Structure 1
Amino acid sequence: MTGAVVFDLDGTLIDSAPDLHAAGLRMLAEFGAPPVTAAQTRSFIGNGVPVLVARLMAASGLPDDPHRHADCVASFLRHYEAAPAEQTTLYPGVVAALDRLEAAGWTLGLCTNKPYGATRTILAAFDLLKRMAVVVGGDTLPEKKPDPAPLRHAFLALPDGARLFVGDSEVDAQTAQAAGVRFALFSEGYRKSPADSIPHEHLFADFADLPGIAATLE
């Protein structure tokens, strides 16, 4: 018996921080705000675009009133969706790991807080879209991670069997816990705290190790 492996996207399969940073800089410039650093942007990733934009606004000194925030979100999305994969890269070993998982009979899916449209564009750019039996974006449901609803929605669309969620952050760990799903933490992503302080059943730094982790669940 195998089952399903669902992945987070940013900081897990892809290093998207450079493109998110570029879109943030263009948004801030549009509103006459000073730039933020790449490291700041990287630390803001994980809770979806509205939260990312609010954090960028706060870091650059823009007042966060609802109307301005809505305008900034629209600006950020316009800039980001124009070039979501220009500087983004796959983490080493991702494709080989997905090949091995599929060969072993695992069905793959994706659950991210990134908007659905940009998610599909990026997956297609890296030839990953056809591999995902389900894609749940940050606007697929009213709820976002760490609410368990998006992850449960993803697994409901996949075959029964063993279940594993693969992510890189505190948000992903909280989501897995709330959904009652085993969690594999990729240690090289966007987490903000030490790996040993984030609840997980499995920890890996090299995607070559992931198929073996999944095999232990069968």
Structure 2
Amino acid sequence: MRGTVIFDLDGTLVDSVPDLADTLDEVLTGLGLAPVGLEGARALIGHGIPRLVQGALTLRGHDVDDAEATAIVERFVRLYGGRLSQRTRAYPGAEAALERLAGAGWRLAVCTNKREGFSRAILSDLGLLRFFDLVAGPDTFGVAKPDPAHLTRAVPGGGPAVMVGDSIVDVTAARAAGMPAIAVAWGYARGPVADLGADAVAQDFAEVPALVERLAG
């Protein structure tokens, strides 16, 4: 094994906004609130389901106590679990890049702020789960990005590793873990990808294997 390449999930490997937005809008309209739509949901993704839901409630000016917030999150989880891959798709070139990396001897892992079970189900539905030695959500190790432990615990023996993600959460976690980071240009970053401070930017999935080789090969 040459080392580990750690991928974020949403906005990096897969475009999950349509299913997340559909679920979020169903929850909001059930509360008598206006939906946020695709772009509204896109701006809230990256920190896990509870913060996604809370962000949407805040956006709509809907204050709730802890008990109500928990109930709303639980409803979101139930609804989302029934449509994980209805409209979610892998980004173009993802499968080919994973094939190339695995064939070159890299161990592949996913570290995402989405629950492990949901993440595994999505990857399985899209035919990508077979590439990954590990899929770690916030419920896997009890930590979530930007906590660097989410990444370091995914690397056996502390060997060489590279993080590939689309957000400041990914780059911050990689920096704190002492790993180089590749930012992808097709994800959900809230500003210019070049401003994330990654070691390299991939404009296309086909560029990822060569960037991994350059940074940690």
* 1:103 is the counterpart of 2:103: yes
State the alpha-carbon separation in 2 of the partners of residues 33 and 61 from structure 1. Answer: 9
Cα drift, residue 160 of structure 1: 5.9
Is the contact between residue 22 and residue 37 of structure 2 (CA under 8 Å) also seen in structure 1? no
Quickly say closer, same or farther: Cα 1:141–1:91, change in 2 above 3 A.
Answer: same
| Alignment gaps of 5+ in structure 1 | none
Is the contact between residue 163 and residue 182 of structure 2 (CA under 8 Å) also seen in structure 1? yes
The amino acid that maps onto 1:188 is W
Correspondence for 2:130: 130
* 1:165 is the counterpart of 2:178: no
Correspondence for 1:118: 118
Other structure's SS at 2:11 match: coil
Other structure's SS at 2:154 match: helix
2:188 paired residue among 180, 190, 195: 190
Task: Please say which of residues 181-190 and 56-65 is displaced more in the overlay.
Answer: 56-65
User: What is the TM-score with the length of structure 2 in the denominator?
Assistant: 0.95
Moved over 6 A (4+): none
Cα drift, residue 87 of structure 1: 0.5
Same amino acid, percent of matched pairs: 39
Offset from partner CA, 1:112-148 (integer Å, 9 cap, x none): 0001111111011011112110110122233211111
Correspondence for 2:43: 43
* 1:180 is the counterpart of 2:178: yes
Task: Please say which of residues 9-18 and 65-74 is displaced more in the overlay.
Answer: 65-74
Is the contact between residue 20 and residue 41 of structure 1 (CA under 8 Å) also seen in structure 2? yes
Other structure's SS at 2:139 match: coil
State the alpha-carbon separation in 1 of the partners of residues 15 and 141 from structure 2. Answer: 24
Other structure's SS at 2:135 match: strand
Cα drift, residue 161 of structure 1: 4.2
The amino acid that maps onto 1:213 is L
Cα drift, residue 32 of structure 1: 2.2
The amino acid that maps onto 1:11 is G
Cα drift, residue 105 of structure 1: 0.7
2:213 paired residue among 194, 212, 215: 215
State the alpha-carbon separation in 2 of the partners of residues 130 and 196 from structure 1. Answer: 31
Cα drift, residue 53 of structure 1: 0.5
Q: Kindly tell me the number of residue pairs found equivalent between the two proteins.
A: 216
Correspondence for 2:201: 203
State the alpha-carbon separation in 1 of the partners of residues 25 and 59 from structure 2. Answer: 12
The amino acid that maps onto 2:212 is A
Correspondence for 1:153: 153
Other structure's SS at 2:138 match: coil
Correspondence for 2:27: 27
Give RMSD over aligned pairs. 1.3
